[in-house]
């Protein structure tokens, strides 16, 4: 078994923009924490890009966590923007328990977005 687990995901920004337009607040509250929503909505023209990058990070994190039933509450995975400009992952409730049960820690996330796509890479290390 590798000492590092990696997940990545690519999201089309237009898809997120369409979902936001169609479902509004219900879409936001189903997928994102209050802090994520506040940060993304403050982005003006970059709102859909910021949401797409966080959605990609959540998908990438799920690939690392490998939940046995395939499902997890999206809000249990939070992307936190740090004052220096980088992002970190914060795991809540079931996501945190799943990570602990698997011996996963040392989480890292990298996000990027441009006009059409957003991408995220998530890593975690195993602790014996």
- Tell me the per-residue pLDDT of 71-121, one tens digit each, with 9 for 90 and over: 899 999 999 999 999 999 999 999 999 999 999 999 999 999 999 999 999
What is the average pLDDT across 20-45? 96
Q: What predicted TM-score, i.e. pTM, was given to this entire model?
A: 0.94
Q: What are phi and psi of 68, to 5 degrees?
A: -60, -30
Please choose, from the candidates 120, 46, 49, 47, the residue with its C-alpha nearest in 3D space to the C-alpha of residue 86: 120
CA–CA separation, 69 vs 80, rounded Å?
26
pLDDT at 69 (0 to 100): 83
* DSSP element (H, E) containing 49: helix 47-65
Torsion, Cα 120 125 126 128, to 10 degrees, reads: -160
- Count of alpha carbons within 13 Å of 97, Cβ hemisphere only? 7
What is the rounded distance in angstroms from the CA atom of residue 6 to the CA atom of residue 91?
Answer: 16
Which structural domain, as residue segments, surrounds residue 82?
Answer: 4-126
Residue 127 confidence (pLDDT): 84
Distances (CA, A) of 75 to 2, 64, 68, 72: 28, 16, 18, 9
Q: Which CATH number belongs to the domain containing residue 48 in this structure?
A: 3.90.470.20
Q: How many CB atoms lie within 10 A of CB 34?
A: 11
If one counts the domains in the chain, the total is: 1
């Amino acid at each position: 078994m590798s000492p590092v687990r990696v997940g990545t995901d690519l999201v089309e920004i237009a898809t997120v923009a369409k979902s936001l337009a169609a479902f509004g607040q219900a879409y936001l509250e189903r997928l994102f924490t209050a802090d994520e929503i506040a940060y993304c909505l403050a982005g003006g023209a970059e709102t859909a890009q910021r949401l797409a990058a966080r959605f990609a990070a959540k998908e990438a994190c799920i690939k690392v966590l490998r939940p046995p039933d395939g499902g997890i509450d999206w809000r249990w995975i939070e992307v936190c923007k740090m004052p220096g400009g980088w992002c970190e992952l914060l795991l809540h409730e079931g996501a945190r328990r799943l990570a602990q049960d698997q011996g996963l820690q040392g989480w890292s996330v990298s996000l990027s977005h441009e006009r059409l796509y957003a991408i995220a890479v998530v890593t975690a290390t195993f602790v014996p």
